[in-house]
Structure 1
Amino acid sequence: MAEESLELEIKPQAKSKKNIIIAAVVGLLVLIGGAIAAYFLLSGDSNDSSPAQTETAMAEPEGPRNSMYVSLPAPFLFNLPINGNEHVVQIKVQLQVRNDEHQVVVRKHLPFLRDALLTTFSSANGITINSSEGKEELRTRALLNVQTAMTAITGSPYIERVLFTGFVMQ
Structure 2
Amino acid sequence: MTLINSKNTAIFALLLAMFVSAFVVAEDEEAQEQGDETVEGEEQAASPAIYIPLKPEFVVNYGGKGRLKYLKTGVTIRLANSDAANSVRHHLPFIRNNLVMIFAAQTDETLESQDGREAMRDTALANIRSLLEAEDGLDPEQVVDVLFNRLTWH
Q: Name the TM-score class by shorter chain.
A: 0.5 to 0.7
Work out whether 1:161 is the aligned partner of 2:145. Answer: yes
- Report the TM-score when normalising by structure 2: 0.68
Equivalent runs, 1:39-58 vs 2, <5 Å: 44-46=34-36, 48-51=38-41, 53-54=42-43
CA distance in structure 1 between the aligned counterparts of 2:56 and 2:62, rounded to whole angstroms: 19
CA distance in structure 2 between the aligned counterparts of 1:131 and 1:145, rounded to whole angstroms: 21
Higher relative contact order (CA closer than 8 Å, sequence separation 6+): 2
CA distance in structure 2 between the aligned counterparts of 1:141 and 1:75, rounded to whole angstroms: 18
Find the structure with the greater CA-based Rg. Answer: 1
Distance 1:73 1:49, change over 3 A: same
**Structure 2: runs of 5+ lacking an equivalent:** 1-25
Equivalent runs, 1:102-113 vs 2, <5 Å: 102-113=84-95
Distance 1:114 1:48, change over 3 A: closer
CA distance in structure 2 between the aligned counterparts of 1:81 and 1:121, rounded to whole angstroms: 10
Aligned partner of 2:109 in structure 1 is 127
- Report the TM-score when normalising by structure 1: 0.62
Aligned pair count reads 124
**Structure 1: runs of 5+ lacking an equivalent:** 1-35
2:135 match: secondary structure: helix
2:55 match: secondary structure: coil
2:106 match: secondary structure: coil
Root-mean-square deviation (Å): 2.8
